[in-house]
């Protein structure tokens, strides 16, 4: 490999998604030893600002395109700019963050450029001049070493798998504007509206996750308001249980997660689901409350650094993963736990 690397920085309204800088960290690891260079590409409204920020991480060049056709993310006009930039720079590695846009653009550019794509990698190394990527497969139950026999090698980096490079604010540079490649009249997708996601800490980026399972609905001290049928009453109980989780999460600055059982029971929306068919998280601290720990849930959180489990079933499989376990009812233990954290963290 020639060590020429292009990193796609995924951004929204002038803010880079954090995993974008982690992709830059992965690139720095690969480019420097090979005597290569690292450039970034940022697309969309306010991309110039993000391109300027990128220089503090010690990159060689930043390209951006803030053409109006890129104000809303649409795959084709974005891919046209990405592939044109990739061709112009003859990069042998394209790195994308594992985000919705990043994965999609990686897929499109690999097929357009005749390279190969290795999404969601957690480790990269150069062995005998060849890039070897490690990817979790089967929801992390196994690890695969993956190699690509064609250039460019297109990679997306998993959230929290690589370190964000250290920033030096003294490093500055002038970003280069590249042209959009598809005129508005030729773009068939029209964006007609937008809905902001609910506020709160992003689950995949979080340092701390507090997650609840089916067990959050078991508080016998609560009685649902009159007039609810059985299903509605259970959902009400579940929602009350998640209030406990929300309070602890707020004190810890944590994101709120949930097991599939809690999501399927209607206690909390799907976007909070952790597991094989939900989100994969890898926080420093994962607190599992009333979660038994089915294998599909473990797949989504087992790489967390410290796992704490509170469950009234001493045989719950979650305890096998836990650094600390408490056998007990969460509605008795979580309120004093939240208070204690509040006191200790204020100091």
Partner 1 sequence: MNIAVCVKQVPDSAAKVVAEDDRVSWGDAPLVLNPWDEYAVEAALQLQEAAGGEVTAVSVGGESAKEALKTALAMGCTQAILVSDPALAAADSQAIAHVLCAAIQKIGGVEAACFGRQAIDGDMGVTGAQTAHLLGWLMLGLVSKIEFKDGKLQVERSFEEGIQIAECPLPAALSVSKDIGEPRYPSFMGIRKAARAEIPTWDLAALGIEAPASVVRWPRISNPPVREIKTEMIEGGSPQEIAEKLVERILEEKVL
Q: Which residue from 101, 126, 111 is spatially nearest to 36, judged by alpha carbons?
A: 126
Site for partner 1, residues 136 to 155, rule: CB under 8 A: 136-150
d(Cα 301, Cα 192) in Å, to the nearest integer? 36
d(Cα 72, Cα 70) in Å, to the nearest integer? 5
Site for partner 1, residues 203 to 232, rule: CB under 8 A: 207-208
Alpha-carbon separation of residue 13 from 19, 43, 51, 70, 184 (angstroms): 16, 10, 13, 11, 20
Task: Note whether 295 binds partner 1 by CB under 8 A.
Answer: yes
Q: Of 37-45, 114-122, 175-183, 221-229, which segment contacts partner 1 by CB under 8 A? A: 114-122
Q: What is the DSSP letter of 3?
A: -
Site for partner 1, residues 258 to 287, rule: CB under 8 A: 270-271, 273, 276-278, 284-285
Q: How many residues line the site for partner 1 (CB under 8 A)? A: 90
DSSP sequence for 312-324: S-TT-GGGGT-SE
Q: Of 35-43, 47-55, 62-70, 75-83, which segment contacts partner 1 by CB under 8 A? A: 75-83
Q: Of 1-9, 52-60, 73-81, 213-221, which segment contacts partner 1 by CB under 8 A? A: 73-81
Task: Note whether 87 binds partner 1 by CB under 8 A.
Answer: no
Whose tokens are 């790195």? That residue is 95
Residue 265 in tokens: 């029971």
Q: How far is the CB of 20 from partner 1 (least distance, A)?
A: 11
Q: How far is the CB of 252 from partner 1 (least distance, A)?
A: 7
For the four alpha carbons of 293, 295, 296 and 302, in that order, the dihedral sign comes to positive
Task: Note whether 2 binds partner 1 by CB under 8 A.
Answer: no
Element (H, E) at 85: helix 75-89
Site for partner 1, residues 322 to 341, rule: CB under 8 A: 322-328, 332-333, 335-337, 339-341
Cβ nearer to partner 1, comparing 235 with 321: 321
Q: How far is the CB of 111 from partner 1 (least distance, A)?
A: 4
Within a 10 A sphere around the Cβ of 154, how many other Cβ atoms? Answer: 28
Asked whether the beta carbons of 269 and 263 are under 8 A apart, the reply is yes
Task: Note whether 84 binds partner 1 by CB under 8 A.
Answer: no
Instruction: Out of 306, 311, 312, 316, point to the residue binding partner 1 (CB under 8 A).
Output: 306
Q: How far is the CB of 189 from partner 1 (least distance, A)?
A: 4
């Amino acid at each position: 490999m020639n060590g020429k690397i292009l990193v796609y920085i995924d951004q929204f309204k002038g803010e880079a998604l954090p995993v974008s800088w982690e992709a830059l960290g992965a690139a720095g690891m690969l480019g420097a030893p090979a005597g290569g260079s690292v450039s970034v590409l940022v697309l969309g409204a306010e991309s110039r600002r993000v391109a300027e920020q990128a220089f503090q991480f010690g990159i060689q060049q930043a390209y951006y395109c803030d053409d109006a056709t890129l104000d809303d993310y649409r795959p084709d006009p974005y891919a046209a700019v990405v592939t044109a930039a990739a061709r112009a720079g003859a990069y042998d590695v394209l790195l994308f963050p594992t985000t919705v846009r990043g994965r999609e653009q990686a897929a499109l550019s690999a097929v357009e450029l005749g390279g190969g794509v290795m999404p969601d990698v957690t480790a990269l190394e150069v062995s005998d001049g060849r890039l070897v990527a490690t990817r979790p497969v089967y929801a992390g139950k196994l690890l695969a070493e993956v190699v690509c026999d064609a250039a460019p090698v297109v990679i997306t980096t998993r959230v929290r798998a690589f370190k964000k490079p250290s920033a030096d604010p003294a490093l500055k540079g002038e970003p280069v504007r590249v042209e959009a490649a598809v005129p508005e009249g030729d773009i068939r997708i029209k964006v007609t509206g937008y809905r902001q996601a609910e506020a709160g800490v992003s689950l995949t980026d979080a340092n701390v996750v507090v997650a609840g399972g089916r067990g959050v609905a078991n508080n016998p001290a609560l009685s649902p308001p009159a007039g609810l049928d059985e299903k509605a009453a259970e959902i009400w109980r579940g929602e009350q249980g998640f209030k406990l989780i929300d309070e602890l999460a707020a004190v810890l600055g944590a994101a709120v997660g949930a097991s599939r059982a809690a999501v399927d029971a209607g206690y909390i929306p799907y976007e909070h689901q952790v597991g094989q068919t939900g989100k994969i998280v890898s926080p420093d601290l994962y607190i599992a409350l009333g979660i038994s720990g089915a294998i599909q849930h473990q797949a989504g959180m087992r790489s967390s650094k410290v796992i704490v489990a509170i469950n009234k079933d001493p045989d719950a499989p979650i305890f096998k993963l836990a650094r600390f376990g408490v056998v007990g009812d969460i509605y008795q233990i979580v309120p004093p736990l939240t208070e204690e954290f509040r006191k200790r963290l204020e100091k």
